[in-house]
Structure 1
């Protein structure tokens, strides 16, 4: 009999104090037909998750009843101390568990640990000490190889990992090998150890460090020197432990897939080849997994076809490609290259909806009225032949460009012009519908790294978000929501994209910060808790004040956020207030438990439109076409794919910030025009007008006066001159310092 984790937890919960030994557990469950090996695996799985706590001598207790112990993830600070982010917080704990510098060295940054929690103070804070490491996060790590008098070491690139890894003699040079999936790099070879001094390498940890000894490892890969072209991406891939090497079995499966299509593959599919269907993507896109078509009916309603690459037809559950795709969870997109979820034979060829080629699709067919409500929906497997591979730029120019641009493109795409206009019309209808129900639309720009023809970075600009982007976004949102609504109505276990209600404390903290800008969510919350906060002024004085924590969960809605977004649109404080609003919200994630999507104000939402690059979409395709999964499997898959998504986002963001810092490191002393985007007691943050780059002008660097921050006006004001700096002001600055570790830029004001 298969042991289900939830059943095992329920069994332990019925025992006194929720505690038992592994021996008793295997005997009790063995009498019910459960195999010892399965019981032990389930126990270890639950212990790694933190749902069970191993006390001593194979004694386990439910984490919810083990008040003294809890499991969590260690996050180290650059100064050597750390915090454990608990999976389940005991009552009264407000923050994370503080781990002092000596105790933090029992583990490494990112490790899952069992922590003993000390007394929780009146302020809701507590210290703790690490009892044991439950799971090592860094079986391999990337770092700089250094030859020292004490021996050879690898210094981890992630400076939150303080422990150096010792490399014994004979383990410094990896054996020659060929890695066909090395991202953008050829294999690096070295003849002697001295050649790799200062080089970035990947090390496999053989013995982990403890309180008394260094860790020991062996070099398994040479990446090159930090400033070499392309090494930055290689470092990020390995720092964030992104799977990037396709196993041989995966490559063989991809190479062996059939590439010629015919009537046999189309049998039972709806034939859409006569429709003028198009794809719309960015200029650099290579994988096209969605195509669209719109028609307007005499009664002013619309027919929308959203055709998605039928990846599930190619990838069979349990195949080598499927297992690798599940491990990766998502494609990762860096500024100049990608780490795909699927081999390129699938992602850019077989599954990609390339123009003028027959492609297999899974289609959402929606009938939408003039108010944006879905009147009917159907889902079918089909075959299409895309008419054009359109870009966002050309669609934007065609719809809203200059007369000259429109004339040229409308002549070039004459048979499709009416179709694009209908897409825009429907997109606006759908957007108004979402707006009426309270959907939040944060319009925050994304940084775009610019390269020259040699691949060298030459600048950073704001990513465009015009009508072409919004058009595709609205049509994809409609398809995703329709699929989720269909599966929910049928009662079919599925994987949803959920966005939960914001936490009361986060919302209250936002309200306090927003009040400084004279704005509020206006939800009329009821205060439920008060605590005393102490702050220090620049001259060392202490200010104590009572802060009220509200409970807005019954009153705050997405419409509160929506109205505030509209209120600050175009104002100098828009950027910072929008950022603060985002911080007050929870992260969207994947779950089998549908609790709706707060930001979209949608009762049910899922991801269906990108199966080439997201594993959850592939699972939803399988469910939509008849496969069924157990809730426990979907629950675990939701947790795993949410983690993969966060990991990819962190790697993408960090690389962009690193490239910005490297780009600016040669510009120390240069002058720039900038705008103040936020003010604080320690200075003001600016954004360069020529470049989409931010930095800080420290308050103590402002010349010719002593400046103070006025909390109520949100201005930095000179005591004698009364000169004031506030959000939205234009200033001229000079770059003073580039902090590569903190990824921060420091500027000084240029006297005007």
Structure 2
């Protein structure tokens, strides 16, 4: 132990440690992967490599090295004091994430200086005790992440409090009664902090900014979710007034400078409850046998000028937000639902990408032009899908549709829709051939009554009608990106916001490979994008209809990076496009409006825009997209718990959808609602958490809970306050743990999750689902 061979000679731990110290000390600030270290030190044998990894882990423990990733290190050149972001945990295991990218450092509550989640702090590393993890203490709060919080009021005789559902604070926020703004016990309210804790006063003091309404009311709860993420729940009156002044009238000047497409057959295909139609498709057969297909996009930038009051509000919001029962629009209602919306039988201004396609959907020519269009028909997805099914063209193979029968296809405008569908299938077939990844995810939907209460919960999968629209939008986005980004060698392309998607995490791909091999599948993770995509697609095809298919797809998705916006193009891995942007939804996404403006400028001969300015806007839009997604997920969780509220005590067949060190997530097969079986309720054994194999394993009886396994559960608790469903394992016996009080809405501070006392991780690995 502790020795290895190098070049025929043995090297002990002390000698290798000295070599590693010299290697890192002579190259401060540089990060090295294992491969680079092995190559530089000529560590050619497996024992030497393993010894080097063990030594570097010890060096990182002693703060001599910094562990940058699971397979790379650099010399620690930082002092004892550093700045970072405070990460507060409900279980007290707080940490500080250094600005320089090192891994988080533990910070106990007594050393937190009352910092809140997201605060930017200055911290000092504490002297490390033997066999203890690194620990830091906050010495200064540089800036607070936010000063407004949302919760439930409790009004007592002399004082009022704000109780937050996520245990953000060690204590509740005190509110003087004169600062309640009429709020009463159990009202949801937005509170602004007026006094932060210090050495003398450890309490938070605040004042009510807005009373949202009574706890449990649907509108109040949805607005509460928005307020928790700092998202707007009302539209500014001045912005709406500015929008009301826009008539949408098409002038003679508009007609003179635009291509007139009003005589070409055009339609929109959208969800049945949509009002903001921001894209339309047109088609006609040309004399040369080609098809002219137009992708027409609402010309928002014609009405919303850069820097005006509407634009500033849209830029701040960056995206529309889609909660379960409502849309929080990026633009005022007059613009998104009336002036800009491509409504049928109305002349509308559009920005269009018009393609000439052959029978195999190869692009022979295209043009990007400002147009005037007139939609002939508004289809909802269900109508278009039914039309395709009625004519037997929904096999999804990409092969040409059968010839029209003697009497023609069945249904109004069937020929046009079927032709568009056939061309879209050819585009889709070619895209997958070129390496686009085949993830066909389901979307959770609810039917709600007039009071917003969910009456049905179900999943929807994309059908041919959805994919028809998707393919032409992808083609338009790709074409616009290429028109700006592809330039002659040696020339710099003009600034454009791209939608980029980085290659998957190599370590997570390796975890996926090891995992699926045990299930009998082959998966070759590769350094090339195309080979990785092909391996993923082959794996998805092989496991798609198998019981373990959903489990494998879940693990594969965890290896994927998140797509984001940037002016620095690296391509889009998931779509296998070298150039991709967002052009097709300017009513609901601000980056699309940015692209429209820049494209118009460049077509008029304008010079490239300020790259730094647009990169800042891209970062803002990426951040707001994530915030909006979090709010959307919370609204789904709330409706899920509300839907299950009267089903406490019922048993269901389910499957395990997530494994963590603190419990098992299970999704009910019947309605797709997800809840958790807390670890404290698995009292039949002591369970070890195997992160790499996504399972819990009992020590004594060796019972295994594996991701994807079928399981029988009983609904134990539905807590609306915390948006949390608790399940219990249904083993056919009476279960004392089932809460018969149905929906729990505590009037006291929300309970903290129990610490997982009977689990330990068997391997160090990346984070699991939480």
Equivalent of 2:654 in 674, 679, 691: 674
In the other structure, the counterpart of 1:208 is: 196
Pick closer, same or farther for the CA change 1:129–1:562 going to 2, 3 Å: farther
CA–CA distance in structure 2, aligned partners of residues 514 and 640 of structure 1: 38
CA–CA distance in structure 1, aligned partners of residues 513 and 711 of structure 2: 29
Cα contact 1:462–1:692 (8 A) shared by 2? yes
CA–CA distance in structure 2, aligned partners of residues 115 and 707 of structure 1: 38
In the other structure, the counterpart of 1:76 is: 88
In the alignment, does 2:547 pair up with 1:572? yes
In the alignment, does 2:226 pair up with 1:218? no
Cα contact 1:710–1:717 (8 A) shared by 2? yes
In the other structure, the counterpart of 1:153 is: 161
Aligned length: 636
In the alignment, does 2:644 pair up with 1:661? no
In the other structure, the counterpart of 2:268 is: 279
* Unpaired segments ≥5 residues, structure 1: 1-16, 19-63, 174-189, 525-551
In the other structure, the counterpart of 1:96 is: 104
Tell me how far 1:580 sits from its aligned partner.
Answer: 1.8
Please, what is the CA RMSD of the aligned residues? Answer: 3.7
In the other structure, the counterpart of 1:199 is: 187
Pick closer, same or farther for the CA change 1:593–1:125 going to 2, 3 Å: farther
Pick closer, same or farther for the CA change 1:126–1:631 going to 2, 3 Å: farther
Pick closer, same or farther for the CA change 1:71–1:371 going to 2, 3 Å: farther
In the other structure, the counterpart of 1:630 is: 610
Tell me the alpha carbon deviations over residues 75-100 of structure 1, each in whole angstroms, 9 at most, x when there is no partner: 321123323344432xxx4x323222
Cα contact 1:163–1:209 (8 A) shared by 2? no
Pick closer, same or farther for the CA change 1:162–1:463 going to 2, 3 Å: farther
Tell me how far 1:589 sits from its aligned partner.
Answer: 0.4
CA–CA distance in structure 2, aligned partners of residues 333 and 554 of structure 1: 33
CA–CA distance in structure 2, aligned partners of residues 146 and 700 of structure 1: 31
Give TM-score scaled by structure 1 length. 0.77
Equivalent of 1:432 in 429, 432, 435: 429
Cα contact 2:314–2:590 (8 A) shared by 1? yes
CA–CA distance in structure 2, aligned partners of residues 432 and 305 of structure 1: 20
Tell me the alpha carbon deviations over residues 385-415 of structure 1, each in whole angstroms, 9 at most, x when there is no partner: 1111110111111102598x9x9xx999845
Equivalent of 1:590 in 558, 565, 573: 565
Pick closer, same or farther for the CA change 1:216–1:555 going to 2, 3 Å: same
1:136-151 matches, within 5 Å, as: 136-148=144-156, 151=159
Equivalent of 1:130 in 123, 133, 138: 138
Tell me how far 1:137 sits from its aligned partner.
Answer: 2.4
In the other structure, the counterpart of 1:642 is: 622
The SS at the match of 2:601 is coil
Pick closer, same or farther for the CA change 1:157–1:709 going to 2, 3 Å: closer
* Range moving further from structure 2, 608-617 or 483-492: 483-492
CA–CA distance in structure 2, aligned partners of residues 125 and 303 of structure 1: 65
Pick closer, same or farther for the CA change 1:506–1:710 going to 2, 3 Å: closer
CA–CA distance in structure 2, aligned partners of residues 605 and 345 of structure 1: 30
Equivalent of 1:347 in 313, 317, 336: 336
CA–CA distance in structure 2, aligned partners of residues 381 and 679 of structure 1: 51
* Range moving further from structure 2, 78-87 or 563-572: 78-87
CA–CA distance in structure 1, aligned partners of residues 96 and 614 of structure 2: 27
CA–CA distance in structure 1, aligned partners of residues 276 and 557 of structure 2: 30
In the other structure, the counterpart of 1:746 is: 727
The SS at the match of 1:246 is coil
In the alignment, does 2:512 pair up with 1:478? no
Tell me the alpha carbon deviations over residues 449-484 of structure 1, each in whole angstroms, 9 at most, x when there is no partner: 211244321121002311111111111111101111
CA–CA distance in structure 2, aligned partners of residues 646 and 625 of structure 1: 29
Tell me how far 1:487 sits from its aligned partner.
Answer: 1.0
In the other structure, the counterpart of 2:370 is: 381
CA–CA distance in structure 2, aligned partners of residues 159 and 253 of structure 1: 41
Cα contact 1:697–1:749 (8 A) shared by 2? no
In the other structure, the counterpart of 1:449 is: 446
The SS at the match of 1:571 is coil
1:334-373 matches, within 5 Å, as: 334-373=323-362
In the other structure, the counterpart of 2:525 is: 523
The SS at the match of 2:86 is strand
CA–CA distance in structure 2, aligned partners of residues 692 and 99 of structure 1: 38
Tell me how far 1:366 sits from its aligned partner.
Answer: 2.0
1:678-717 matches, within 5 Å, as: 685-696=665-676
The SS at the match of 2:316 is helix
The SS at the match of 2:273 is coil
Equivalent of 1:508 in 510, 517, 520: 510
Tell me how far 1:293 sits from its aligned partner.
Answer: 1.8
Tell me how far 1:558 sits from its aligned partner.
Answer: 2.6
Tell me the alpha carbon deviations over residues 268-288 of structure 1, each in whole angstroms, 9 at most, x when there is no partner: 101111111111100111100
CA–CA distance in structure 2, aligned partners of residues 292 and 233 of structure 1: 34
